[in-house]
Structure 1
Amino acid sequence: MGIDIQRFHETFFEESREGLQILEAGLLALDRGAADPDALNRIFRAAHSIKGGAGTFGFTAIADFTHGVESTLDQLREGRLTPDRDLIDILLRAADVMGMLLDAAQSGDDVEIDAITATQQALAAYQPQTSIVCDDATASLAPTTEITWRIRFQPHEALFASGNEPLRLLRELSGLGALQVEADPARLPPLDTLDPEACYLGWTLTLTTNASRAQVEEIFAWVEDECDLEIEPLPAPSPGPSAATADGDEPPARRQSAAGGESSLRVSVDKIDALINLVGELVINQAMLQQQAQDLDPVHNEMLLSGLSQLELHTRRLQEAVMATRMVPMAFVFNRFPRVVRDLAGRLGKRVQLETLGESTELDRGVIERITDPLNHIVRNSLDHGLETPEQRRAAGKPETGTVTLEASHEGGHIVIRVSDDGRGLDRDRLLAKAAERGIPCQESMSNIEVWQLIFAPGFSTAAAVTDVSGRGVGMDVVKRNITNLGGQVEVASETGRGTDITIRLPLTLAILDGMTVAVGAENYIIPLHSVVESLQPGGADVRRLAGSSKVVRFREEFLPLVSAAAFFGVERAAGDNGAVIVVVESGGQRLALQVDDLLGQQQVVIKSLEANYRHVAGVAGATILGDGRVALILDIGELIGATRRPAAA
């Protein structure tokens, strides 16, 4: 029975891209002077693992190119090269080329031959035969005499399942010196029970080489968690009795997967999503049972009600556990920005320090995938528009190096992401002038919060000239729309000369929502709880009619537009205005008073896409199924506010 190696390719590509992230992060740490020997070893192992995996699966272009990267990194690791900015630039370009080659191998994308060739030539300039001079101090890092190593290599039975081939490792090991191989068949089962896809053989290897222990260990880096490994030096032959024990006190290097250690399993996102959908259906069914049980006699049905209570508890715990499988730390997003900031700062001639806080804060993977581009645009704007040049900062009495801070934290049932800089800040007068110039509605009487929101207007830009970084007036409106589509809000605070702070509030997940259920006629609607400011029953004097049919309501010394949910959605009211309740909602710094018939309570609901099953409905973000089996629409407060304010603006 043959093994279909193709099915392991996806794992190779995923792990290789993770290796590229480790490689890039380590190089950026080197650029900041923050690397240590362990970090250098991690960088080297990342490149070595990519090369080894590429060789295993026959991706020779990746393996050959990465070999040159690995050789240069080895020079760095042994202290023969200094990680100056030029070398880091070349290695970062090499990481980009490795990513391009991975894309080409995975999806058949074209490669830029000139970029590959230029990078290979740049790397070659750092090889020993062309530019490396090894002084006495660095020469002592490598063995000058041959050492004989005894290696006991016992792969785990599941080694083949990860696409690894032990014979490839033995061939690579033989490239270091003279190798003697002795197979250990002790674990071979009887032929009738043998699994052809399991690895039973082990090996005892004797290697005579002038390579270091680290170089020997690196051969097995790709499989270090999938084997038991012992490496020990053999005493060098000598006529003297003492020489035989020269290395006798040196403990063997042993790598063994701990049975009780933490392990991980790669699972398709589609499978996780299917599991979440099933749990969502279970939550709905549990809510239905709970609602039906409300009319039961608690005395005669004590056991049944107790069981339903336990079902509710376990359903909630199961729901939380399944949702946790989609949670990803914000480091997944933040780790890509050091490279973005470094490259863009160099192009703009600015000095920038990036600080990240709260990288361990977790967010739903679906949200993270859709927040990356908006964050990237905001960070680029901070560097381009927000931070000054070193000369401008020096003239303003600031340090020449500006700071951009990325911070993530949990606040209630939401995640808050802040992008702040200590740059020039927003200029109120300039924003108003640009808005008027482009025909965007604005007034001098607008508050600062309203003025700052002008940067999200379509086509708005304060750039003096169009560049490849910004200035076309495309971007910040898309940023806000993408965040709003995620059920989030974006706020801006700024102080001229001191900097700008952009705050994004997002739900932790796109699958479950904390909402307030309201009644409008015979229908129920869900208002996302993060959009609710307050609910109240206004007096007759608090509601005033403006010209036409518009109404406003007094709320804390300000007047808010009053919108009837019944009128907006075309629902017949069940009662007159006297029984109306007003819910003050907010999105994007703007507020609206929404008139409903009654408040029914707060609850978690499972979000269902309305567009996937019907079509887009204005003012509606999705739908859910209530405990009684009825469908309730989830309101899109941002779209609702926009739809009701547009006629006024016109």
Structure 2
Amino acid sequence: MNKSDSLKNIFRQEASELIADIEENLLNIEKDPENKDFLDSLFRPMHTLKGSGAVSGFNDIADFTHNIETVLDRVRSGLIPVTRELIDLIFKSIDQIKIMLKEDKAAISESKNTVSDIISKFEKLAHDNNIQEIFETQETEPEPAPLNPCSETNKNYTIEFYPGPEIFAAGIDPLLLIDELRELGLCMVEARMSDIPIVHSIDPEKCYLSWNFTLTTSCGIDAVKDVFMFVEHSSRIKIQEIETSRETLSDLSEQGLFFLCEKLLETGYITAYEFNETMSGRKNISDTLVDAGVVSQQEVKSGLSTSEIIQKSEKGFKDSTIRVALDKLDHLVNLVGELTITQSQITRITSEVKDARLRKPLKTAERLTGELRNIILSVRMIPIGTTFGKFRRYLRDMANKLEKDIELITAGGDAELDKTVIEKLNDPLIHIIRNSIDHGIEKPGEREKKGKSPKGTIKLSAVQKGSRVCINIEDDGTGLDPEKILLKAEKMGLSYNKDLSEKEIFNLLFLPGLSTSEQITNLSGRGVGMDVVKKAVDSLHGTIQINSKKGHGTNIEIALPLTLAIIDGLMIETGGNFFILPMGMVDKCIEIVYENNKNQGNRNIICIKKEVIPLIPLREIFEIPGKRPDIEQVVIIDAENFKAGIVTDRVIGDHQTVVKPLGKTFKNAEGLSGATFTGDGNIALILDIPGLIRCAQQSPADKTPEYLYTRIFNKK
């Protein structure tokens, strides 16, 4: 991959983040059109998109975005009102930019007419608001009129610009920013060169220059900030508004004042007499800094220039963030996993060696390995709010299509999940939200008849509980009808117990093909969705449960582990085989006597505090040979509010589990989700609790726990 392609890929990644930010702000503006902060927040990423596109080779995006930016500038000035038509048009423009970002030349070529159509609609919008020539070419744009820095109608700014050393690597040319700054008005530029190293130490891909600007313009400070918008996170920028009347010019620094007055003298704004009067009697800035203790007199005598002294008194800029390719992080996580396994093996071996000298370095190694593991895993964690924001646009479009008024409320977006988990969670959440929009929330007229607000709400929230994150999707729609669900189940040929609880009835919705929708639409109604959601959540080692009240809405809760790479587990052993239970599902551990259970008719149930809990014997489920011990261990697990007891020979204890895939041969093995290595090099299988319960349900009746088997349903 050449440098140009690499730069384009970086821009595509940055553009996707900027577009998400733009859509988020557009939705905020639609909700509160009078909020100027939202308008400013929308303008910034749009401006960044334009500038970054220009320096990355996406000139078509830069030109197109410039047109949108021009319209937004008129909106900020109050010349164009915020209307539904304007919002829809900008959304359409964003969709067009998404097409331009693709490498499909045919699709881009076909969309040229769409670009022209959008621009013509923007022009019509401007014409309707009596704004002529909204899109002017650079060649026909008139030169800015001379500005008097002492005029009350103009504003004056001093700007310090310290680019990050890697600014060139990001494809940004600082000179283009300087040219853009000059377009705002009278701009005087001073380059700082004190950081330039000797010739043989210069890296041509790094920027060693920084600049001071004195700007006189009729524009506000927002316009000045916008020039540096797409470098503000990688550079240090200081913008100050100053008063430069002839009475206050003496407040400037020595070098800045001299530079300003020199330029004003050249342009005829002040006379030579006024120049001399301003500069005479002014204390040298070097002496001022010596008096303040910033530099020593020796440094001044050694020949440091004024700009070098000023720069010495300020802290240098350091980049706070960097972009790292995801495949590199994945490789790093794998290496940390191998290191964790090796550490466990070393711990086991050294425990057999009675040498006190090994204890201290071993404990240090364990601590450092643990810290390294936690830090690496935290690097992959991102706020779930980044996913929540994507659904606002989706909900808006679907609600408009169905002629419904729906508001999405989000909370807990700062809860963090592994990036892999969040990516795999996107489709399940889309399915659930789509169901709520399509046949959950009623149309405004229907809601008013029921005494509800015409605007429906869908609340998407997240909260971290220990090593898991719980996500709730709640709507105030029609809710679920248990009788209708049972009727659908009968039509599908399913028999069920009459004493099923309401929650168990709702769980029938996870069956393939079962849907309560009265009609099939292009959005939903074919029974495809909730079974896909269930499988996706199970693959993430998560749980899902449905709660609903007929006529009042539905709540779906998804609980997921923070990460899938390394998990906290409980190691157990049955017949010489080792298994890992996810610690987040473990409730308690108890002992049972085999003979006592045998005398109860081998019903494989246990009663704890008047609660009947079915038992799942691993020895029978996996057909492990050998005699059952007289005293067995039972690990009570809680999955989706369904408790069961895992019967095993021995509970070993906590285990930091590095999850390894089972491979193609065993990837569909029921009841198993992966494998790991123990400290002595043996393999331990990681149990998939929901899958294990399904496995027990599907076992022959004479081997399956009776309560567990008959509690749900059987096919005829």
Same fold (TM over 0.5): yes
Report the counterpart of residue 64 of structure 2 in structure 1: 65
Check conservation: 2:162, 2:209, Cα contact below 8 A.
yes
Check conservation: 1:353, 1:404, Cα contact below 8 A.
yes
Report the counterpart of residue 429 of structure 2 in structure 1: 375
Mind listing any 5+ residue stretches in structure 2 that lack a counterpart?
A: 133-143, 150-155, 246-263, 279-310, 702-713
Give the drift of 1:437. 1.2
Return the alpha-carbon distance in structure 1 between the equivalents of residues 690 and 237 of structure 2: 57
Return the alpha-carbon distance in structure 2 between the equivalents of residues 54 and 372 of structure 1: 28
Partner residue of 1:419 out of 465, 470, 473:
473
Report the counterpart of residue 565 of structure 1 in structure 2: 618
Return the alpha-carbon distance in structure 2 between the equivalents of residues 115 and 50 of structure 1: 19
Report the counterpart of residue 689 of structure 2 in structure 1: 637
Return the alpha-carbon distance in structure 2 between the equivalents of residues 352 and 451 of structure 1: 28
Report the counterpart of residue 227 of structure 2 in structure 1: 219
Check conservation: 1:605, 1:624, Cα contact below 8 A.
yes
Return the alpha-carbon distance in structure 2 between the equivalents of residues 131 and 257 of structure 1: 49
Give the drift of 1:435. 1.4
1:184 to 1:414, Cα distance in 2 relative to 1, 3 A: closer
Give the drift of 1:391. 2.0
Report the counterpart of residue 307 of structure 2 in structure 1: none
Report the counterpart of residue 410 of structure 1 in structure 2: 464
Check conservation: 1:72, 1:126, Cα contact below 8 A.
no
**Aligned-partner residue type, residue 623 of structure 1:** A
Deviation digits for residues 330-355 of structure 1, max 9, x if unmatched? 11111112212222222222222221
Aligned residue runs from structure 1 range 114-133, under 5 A: 114-127=113-126, 129=127, 131-132=129-130
Partner residue of 1:198 out of 173, 192, 206:
206
Deviates more, 1:582-591 or 1:164-173: 582-591
Partner residue of 2:655 out of 603, 608, 625:
603
Aligned residue runs from structure 1 range 139-178, under 5 A: 146=147, 153=161, 155-173=163-181, 175-176=183-184
Report the counterpart of residue 253 of structure 2 in structure 1: none
Deviates more, 1:559-568 or 1:43-52: 559-568
1:439 and 2:439 are equivalent in the alignment: no
Give the drift of 1:589. 5.0
Aligned residue runs from structure 1 range 612-631, under 5 A: 615-631=667-683
1:293 to 1:52, Cα distance in 2 relative to 1, 3 A: same
Report the counterpart of residue 459 of structure 1 in structure 2: 513
SS state at 1:604 partner: strand
Partner residue of 1:352 out of 403, 406, 417:
406
Report the counterpart of residue 280 of structure 1 in structure 2: 337
Deviation digits for residues 588-646 of structure 1, max 9, x if unmatched? 45554433211112222111111269654332110111111111011112222222213
Deviates more, 1:110-119 or 1:25-34: 110-119
Give the drift of 1:523. 1.3
Aligned residue runs from structure 1 range 196-595, under 5 A: 196-202=204-210, 211-224=219-232, 225-226=234-235, 228=237, 237=269, 259=316, 263-297=320-354, 301-538=355-592, 540=595, 542=597, 551-556=603-608, 562-573=615-626, 575-595=627-647
Report the counterpart of residue 28 of structure 1 in structure 2: 27
Deviation digits for residues 262-291 of structure 1, max 9, x if unmatched? 711111111212221122122112222222
Give the drift of 1:193. 3.3
Give the drift of 1:31. 0.8
Report the counterpart of residue 293 of structure 2 in structure 1: none
Deviation digits for residues 207-254 of structure 1, max 9, x if unmatched? 77655443343223222332556576766837999xx99xxxxxxxxx
SS state at 1:516 partner: strand
1:105 to 1:61, Cα distance in 2 relative to 1, 3 A: farther
SS state at 1:387 partner: coil
Check conservation: 1:56, 1:168, Cα contact below 8 A.
no
Return the alpha-carbon distance in structure 2 between the equivalents of residues 610 and 19 of structure 1: 38
Report the counterpart of residue 49 of structure 1 in structure 2: 48
Return the alpha-carbon distance in structure 2 between the equivalents of residues 527 and 273 of structure 1: 24
Return the alpha-carbon distance in structure 2 between the equivalents of residues 426 and 335 of structure 1: 27
**Number of aligned residue pairs:** 623
Larger radius of gyration: 2
1:232 to 1:409, Cα distance in 2 relative to 1, 3 A: closer
Return the alpha-carbon distance in structure 1 between the equivalents of residues 217 and 562 of structure 2: 55
Return the alpha-carbon distance in structure 2 between the equivalents of residues 334 and 305 of structure 1: 48
1:95 and 2:94 are equivalent in the alignment: yes
Mind listing any 5+ residue stretches in structure 1 that lack a counterpart?
A: 135-142, 246-254
Q: TM-score, normalised by structure 1?
A: 0.86
Return the alpha-carbon distance in structure 2 between the equivalents of residues 164 and 106 of structure 1: 25
**Aligned-partner residue type, residue 571 of structure 1:** I
Report the counterpart of residue 78 of structure 1 in structure 2: 77
**Aligned-partner residue type, residue 226 of structure 1:** S
Return the alpha-carbon distance in structure 2 between the equivalents of residues 100 and 86 of structure 1: 21
Give the drift of 1:485. 0.4
Check conservation: 1:29, 1:35, Cα contact below 8 A.
no
1:582 to 1:131, Cα distance in 2 relative to 1, 3 A: same
SS state at 1:611 partner: coil
1:365 to 1:612, Cα distance in 2 relative to 1, 3 A: farther
Return the alpha-carbon distance in structure 1 between the equivalents of residues 579 and 159 of structure 2: 68
Return the alpha-carbon distance in structure 1 between the equivalents of residues 415 and 379 of structure 2: 14
SS state at 1:610 partner: coil
SS state at 1:79 partner: coil
Return the alpha-carbon distance in structure 1 between the equivalents of residues 182 and 374 of structure 2: 51
Check conservation: 2:8, 2:57, Cα contact below 8 A.
no
Return the alpha-carbon distance in structure 2 between the equivalents of residues 200 and 562 of structure 1: 70
Deviation digits for residues 121-149 of structure 1, max 9, x if unmatched? 2222233x553459xxxxxxxx9984666
Give the drift of 1:19. 1.3
Deviation digits for residues 339-395 of structure 1, max 9, x if unmatched? 122222222222222211111111111111111111121112122222222222222
SS state at 1:158 partner: coil
1:580 to 1:213, Cα distance in 2 relative to 1, 3 A: closer
SS state at 1:608 partner: coil
**Aligned-partner residue type, residue 453 of structure 2:** P
SS state at 1:162 partner: coil
1:9 and 2:8 are equivalent in the alignment: yes
Check conservation: 1:173, 1:216, Cα contact below 8 A.
yes
Q: TM-score, normalised by structure 2?
A: 0.79
Please provide the CA RMSD for this pair.
3.4
1:188 to 1:587, Cα distance in 2 relative to 1, 3 A: closer
SS state at 2:92 partner: helix
Deviates more, 1:26-35 or 1:326-335: 26-35
Check conservation: 1:591, 1:641, Cα contact below 8 A.
no
Q: Percent identity?
A: 33
Check conservation: 2:79, 2:129, Cα contact below 8 A.
no
Return the alpha-carbon distance in structure 2 between the equivalents of residues 188 and 412 of structure 1: 51
Return the alpha-carbon distance in structure 2 between the equivalents of residues 73 and 331 of structure 1: 26
Give the drift of 1:492. 0.9
1:392 to 1:536, Cα distance in 2 relative to 1, 3 A: same
Check conservation: 2:572, 2:580, Cα contact below 8 A.
yes
Return the alpha-carbon distance in structure 1 between the equivalents of residues 186 and 79 of structure 2: 26
Give the drift of 1:429. 0.6
Check conservation: 1:153, 1:204, Cα contact below 8 A.
yes
Give the drift of 1:152. 6.0
1:186 to 1:105, Cα distance in 2 relative to 1, 3 A: farther
